[in-house]
Structure 1
Amino acid sequence: MKVALIGLGSVGRGAAEMIAKKDLGLTITGIADSKSGLINNAGIDIVSVLATKKKTGSCGTPGVTAADVVAKAEYDALIEVTPTNALSGEPATGYIRAALNRKKHVVTSNKGPVALYYKELKELARKNGVEFRYEATVAGAIPIMHVLEHGLAGNEILAIYGVLNGTCNFILTRMAHEGLTYEQALLEARELGYAEADPTYDVQGIDAAIKLVILANTIWGNGVKLDAVDRTGIDLLTADALQLADEQGCTIRLIAEAIPRKNLLRVSPRILEKNHPLVTQGTLNALTLETDMAKEITLIGRGAGSVETASAIIGDLLFIRDCHVQRP
């Protein structure tokens, strides 16, 4: 199967490295970063391209853009992992629309397009007879979308609860275990690369809320938007609050929850018993699905990382390969 890849940041490099390393039957015919691009419909030597990228900062020919790759390369599926504003969905949404209109499958890790334009993009894919898949947008390596679509097919999903932001989980873990203040734990998270210089997006619960919107739309198709989520972050939590919870055999985690029967979409710090399945450590993510037949299912795994996110992207690609491109 031929694929094109736009975006060569951490996620894009991870996907490219794994495609080059593993014998997956995938050939990259177009690739682009923010400065350059390369199109070769016979197949690109990804190892060479990655070496060039590391040495020069560019992957190909200056002036060849991501838009050129989307419009001109020959491919079955587009891997869209460009730097994108999660609150506007651009430029990823434009690339996704263009590929779908070319009747090409699309796999993305960008949350904004899915949270903002889920119904439109799914309908555009359906109209053009292709797949629009986005496993990598929620919970990193945890295959939540595949579980919902296949593993729990036939189940009614009654509610979902999750730890969806590794930065917040790391900060709360350090505050609880070491008695650090929020400011001290945040500084440590920055030093380790878990938090951005401006951590607002994470610590105020925006990232978790966007992921909750994606899950809600995927499960119930209710067209909810970010402003429907009741959101409280962790930036006002004190070490005393964690200590008080600890004295009761509990701790605090930032929990995203969706319960349709209660008309509830919420992200907020919650007090949980220490043995609760959602009390994960460090940057781990966790999700509990409440269903009618399977009852409660909890998934725990790495919520971020180059290779971890590549796992989700490749899972979507191989689904497309097996079900739509190379049918028996």
Structure 2
Amino acid sequence: MTPMRIALLGLGSVGKGVAKVLANPEYGFVITAAADSKSGVVAPAGTTLDMCEVFARKNATGRCGDSAWSAERIVREAEYDILVEVSPTNAQTGEPALSNIRAALMRGKHVVTSNKGPISIAYPELSATAKEHNAGLMFEGTVAGAVPIMNGLRCGLAGNRVNALFGVLNGTCNYILTRMEEEGLTYQQALAEASDLGYAEADPSADVNGTDAAIKLVILANTMLGMNVKLDDVIRVGIDGMTADALMMAAKTGHTIRLIASIHPEKRLLEVSPRLIHKEHPLVVDGTLNAVTVDTELAGPITFIGRGAGSVETASAVLADLLALKERYDGK
């Protein structure tokens, strides 16, 4: 079967992971176009990109190609079967990813994305556009990295009513709380350590104030649970006021504190806040791991645990979506 052609937008950590994974010809995909925020490159008809050369050029010049091929032009004019959109998230507007995804779907092109912005802001619209143009829209990588929470809900737990969902959805916060508990570090010391190790962004505010986890809750609520909520509907309390003393006091009773994101569909209640939980609870994971417990009608509580971020880890979720699309549309 002819390999499906990929246009890859976003050449940061996740983009590198995707390119690395798709280099394996057994998966049946080739990259024929790529773009960063400043430039793009398109392979001549009938050929594919050498992504090693593309990344070498970007490392040397700061651009993957030339300005003649922007990401927007690639989406609208290049020949490809699937748009893989893995650029950084803009939680306020979803742009420019939102416009690029919309334009690809309107061309009848499939889309796989790990970008939380467009899915949290405009999922109903994008889903309707995909259906109208017979295109697939997949986004497993937007929540919990390599953890297959959406595929688990969609397929493995199909038919189950979800009574509640609880999760540790931000690895940066979990790492900070773990280190504060293990070593008695202050919040500022643990945050500095997380930054030094690359677990925290240059501006970590969206992580530590609960915004990142809240965005992921919105995606789960709207795409998996049929709700229609926005970021402002999520009650948010971050961990920036946490103290080592609070964690020490919790430990005396066999408990700890984790930033827990939760959904109660019937109450339409979404919340992100630090919570006291017993150390034996399955959501008590260490370091940068993510964990999600789904309380279901028939199967009872099911917990998913795994790496919630990372280059190859998120690429794993992207690959799963690509393979699902390939099977569904049979390369057409």
Q: Quick check: 1:286 aligned with 2:283?
A: no
Q: Quick check: 1:181 aligned with 2:186?
A: yes
1-side partners of 2:89 and 2:231: how far apart? 17
Q: Quick check: 1:21 aligned with 2:24?
A: yes
Q: CA deviation at 1:90?
A: 0.7
182-191 vs 163-172, which deviates more? Answer: 182-191
2-side partners of 1:262 and 1:35: how far apart? 45
- Does the 8 Å contact 1:6/1:69 carry over to 2? no
Partner residue, 2:148: 143
Q: Quick check: 1:121 aligned with 2:134?
A: no
C-alpha deviations, 1:12-49, integer Å up to 9, x for none? 11101111135211011111112221112422222332
1:57-136 equivalent positions in 2, closer than 5 A: 57-136=62-141
For structure 2, list consecutive stretches of 5 or more residues without a partner in the other structure.
none
Q: CA deviation at 1:7?
A: 1.0
After TM superposition, what 4+ stretches of structure 1 lie above 6 angstroms from structure 2?
none
Distance of aligned partners of 1:266 and 1:106 in 2 relative to their CA distance in 1, 3 Å threshold? same
Q: Quick check: 1:39 aligned with 2:31?
A: no
- Does the 8 Å contact 1:36/1:63 carry over to 2? yes
Q: Quick check: 1:218 aligned with 2:223?
A: yes
1:193-272 equivalent positions in 2, closer than 5 A: 193-272=198-277
C-alpha deviations, 1:228-249, integer Å up to 9, x for none? 1111000111111101100011
- Does the 8 Å contact 1:250/1:271 carry over to 2? yes
RMSD: 1.3
1-side partners of 2:261 and 2:189: how far apart? 24
- Does the 8 Å contact 2:83/2:110 carry over to 1? yes
- Does the 8 Å contact 1:234/1:254 carry over to 2? yes
- Does the 8 Å contact 1:17/1:47 carry over to 2? no
Output the TM-score relative to the length of structure 2: 0.95
2-side partners of 1:84 and 1:305: how far apart? 15
- Does the 8 Å contact 1:169/1:282 carry over to 2? yes
Matched position secondary structure for 1:183: helix
Matched position secondary structure for 2:26: coil
- Does the 8 Å contact 2:6/2:82 carry over to 1? yes
- Does the 8 Å contact 1:156/1:292 carry over to 2? yes
For structure 1, list consecutive stretches of 5 or more residues without a partner in the other structure.
none
Report the residue type matching 1:51 in the other structure: A
Output the TM-score relative to the length of structure 1: 0.97
1-side partners of 2:74 and 2:16: how far apart? 17
Matched position secondary structure for 2:91: coil
How many residue pairs were aligned?
Answer: 327
2-side partners of 1:146 and 1:4: how far apart? 23
C-alpha deviations, 1:45-73, integer Å up to 9, x for none? 22332333333332223331001111111
C-alpha deviations, 1:277-322, integer Å up to 9, x for none? 0000000000011111111110100000000010011111111011
Q: CA deviation at 1:134?
A: 0.6
